[in-house]
Amino acid sequence: MTGRIRMGLIGGGPGSFIGPVHRIAAELDGEIALVAGSFSRDAARSAEAGRGYGIDPDRAYPSVEAMFAAEAARADGIQFVTIASPNFHHLPAARAAIAAGVAVMSDKPMTATLAEARELAGLLEDAPVPYGLTYTYSGYPLVREMRERVAAGAIGAVRKVVVEYNQGWLAGAGAGKQAEWRLDPARSGEGGCIADIGVHAFHLAEFVTGLRVDRINADLGTVVPGRLLDDDCQMFLRFAGGARGLLMASQVMTGEGNDLAIRIYGETGALRWSQENPNRFEWLRGDGGMEIVRAADPGLSAVSMRGTRLPGGHPEGLLESLANLYRDFAMQLRGEPGSLVPGAEDGLRGMALVATAVTASREGRGWVDFTG
């Protein structure tokens, strides 16, 4: 593991789904190694998880504080930490990392509330460390390719964006452990679906178009009786400059898996991409023709190809997309330019979206300004 960047993990205890996902993605390209963690606030469970990850038993810590203290004392201490604990824990975890001068890679949303996000942004201003947010889908090579093409004018000025994120796993009344904290305002924050997946869709729309939303008209609803948070969202968007947009996000679309999709229409062309079949997008050309752009096709941009490990026709998936964020973050840590990992500004916009949409929808305000 010579020369690998050393990573700690907060969260990802026994039975966790997201912990191993971070481990796989971070280590995929051989540039990063998970070496320490505060996997659970229960010492025994943290130790158990550490054994599962195959790390040195001494480095499976019973608390975030213990981890940062012990690691700071080592010559080979962690260089960054990934925060994979529930939303309400994102701020304290990040605060501890910043205090220790350790870089942060955080699950989205940035924090549980907008106020917390602003606090965190302030901390990062006062004591800067590299800070990344795993808007995972922005790591797909073809998402990045679309971004490049829009920026290069391949579809002309953007006029309309339709972004949607359709899931069905909360369509039933009971939905298991993953659902539990997400449906609890105390742990998840004031947004349900909007905070869990709506912000992914929102980030994707801004990431690919390079535009910024400045007005929204939100319609958040709770479909399954008894819930305290939204589980179905629809939103009109208006981008600075006038482009129109539509955002859908739902967790009660029975039968849907993880259907994040975006369509961008410009004056002279359009792009369509769907996460469930991520290795291609459609390019509707201004001359009436339609092309299928495939991962690893000749002529793709350097930024797309740098996230592509296999030749055309050999599918890559979500783990590789997340690995691309880690690879970019490693570039950042090494002081190299070009990283596309979302940061605090993106995090703040997402939190502002949740706060603005929840309030505006609840109060039936119709169109409201969005300042991000």
Which 73-102 residues touch a second copy, going by CB under 8 A? none
Calculate the CA dihedral of residues 340, 207, 201, 352 and round it to 10 degrees.
90
Query: For 29-174, where are the alpha helices, taking DSSP H only?
Result: 43-53, 64-72, 90-100, 114-126, 141-151
Sign of CA dihedral 53, 57, 63, 66: negative
Residue of the chain from 174, 226, 313, 335 that contacts a second copy (CB under 8 A): 313
Cis peptide before 109 (omega within 30 of 0): yes
Please tell me the distance from the alpha carbon of residue 245 to that of residue 157, in angstroms, as a whole number: 14
Q: How far is the CB of 295 from a second copy (least distance, A)?
A: 9
Please tell me the distance from the alpha carbon of residue 152 to that of residue 268, in angstroms, as a whole number: 12
Binders of a second copy among 199-218, rule CB under 8 A? 217
Residue closer to a second copy by CB (options 84, 112) is: 84
In contact, 233 and 249? CB cutoff 8 Å = yes
User: Hey, how many other C-beta atoms are within 10 angstroms of the C-beta on 15?
Assistant: 12
Please tell me the distance from the alpha carbon of residue 322 to that of residue 18, in angstroms, as a whole number: 11
Residue closer to a second copy by CB (options 99, 367) is: 367
Q: How far is the CB of 49 from a second copy (least distance, A)?
A: 12
Residue of the chain from 126, 152, 226, 298 that contacts a second copy (CB under 8 A): 298
Pairing of strands 244-250, 232-239: antiparallel
Residue of the chain from 58, 210, 290, 369 that contacts a second copy (CB under 8 A): 290
Residue of the chain from 71, 230, 232, 346 that contacts a second copy (CB under 8 A): 232
- Please report whether residue 160 would count as binding a second copy according to CB under 8 A: yes
Please tell me the distance from the alpha carbon of residue 187 to that of residue 359, in angstroms, as a whole number: 19
**What SS3 class is residue 48?**
helix
Residue of the chain from 48, 309, 331, 372 that contacts a second copy (CB under 8 A): 309
- Please report whether residue 268 would count as binding a second copy according to CB under 8 A: yes
Q: How far is the CB of 238 from a second copy (least distance, A)?
A: 9
- Please report whether residue 365 would count as binding a second copy according to CB under 8 A: yes
Residue of the chain from 303, 305, 318, 331 that contacts a second copy (CB under 8 A): 318
Q: How far is the CB of 282 from a second copy (least distance, A)?
A: 8
In contact, 75 and 66? CB cutoff 8 Å = no
Only one of the segments 94-102, 112-120, 197-205, 288-296 lies at the binding site for a second copy (rule: CB under 8 A); that segment is 288-296
Please count the residues of this chain forming the interface with a second copy, following the rule CB under 8 A: 92
Instruction: Measure CA 39 to chain center.
Output: 20
Binding mask 101-140 for a second copy (x = CB under 8 A): ----------------------------------------
